[in-house]
Amino acid sequence: ALDLNRADEAARYALRADRLKGIDPRQLRKLGIDLSDNGDWQGAVELYEKALSLRKEAQPSATDVLLHMEIGRLRHLLNDYKNAAQDFALVVDSLEHPKKYRLDKDVVDLLLQKAGPTYALMAECFLLADRLDQAAAAFEKSHKASPDKARQGYDLARLKARREQP
């Protein structure tokens, strides 16, 4: 289907396939992008996960980090905060240890192009997944990148309420 330039069919086949031997993970990412652009967020997540699974034996790379960022974003849209938080935890770890993930300055800049909203999104998922220490750290980075006292007070209040410290 890919050779015939039928991306929709290729995506359907890839979603149903048990084994994807011989498929390039880049092709799955491209199909995932197409699904995401068409509003099929769950299908996109599944294809991105399949792309990652084809690389599970390889050393983590910048591409893997970018995929986890996108999967986390889509899972947030799907209200799957627990799994989104797992993806975002890997992204945060990669930002704290860029050499481990072979991140160069360009990839870090891409991930943090809008650092305030990016960390706010991650903090939201951490909060809703009850990963409260990670939520606090991400909220702090968000407010450092995009200061807003009112928003900061609101986020701290939500964090304290989640910790049952109103």
Which of 114, 35, 28 has its CA nearest to residue 77? 35
Residue 21 pLDDT grade (very low, low, confident, very high; cuts 50, 70, 90) = low
Q: Write out the DSSP string of 28-58.
A: HHHHHHHHHHTT-HHHHHHHHHHHHHTTTTS
The sign one gets for the Cα dihedral 110, 114, 115, 119 is negative
pLDDT in tens, 103-161: 999 999 999 999 999 999 999 999 999 999 999 999 999 999 999 999 999 999 999 99
pLDDT in tens, 67-113: 999 999 999 999 999 999 999 999 999 999 999 998 999 999 999 99
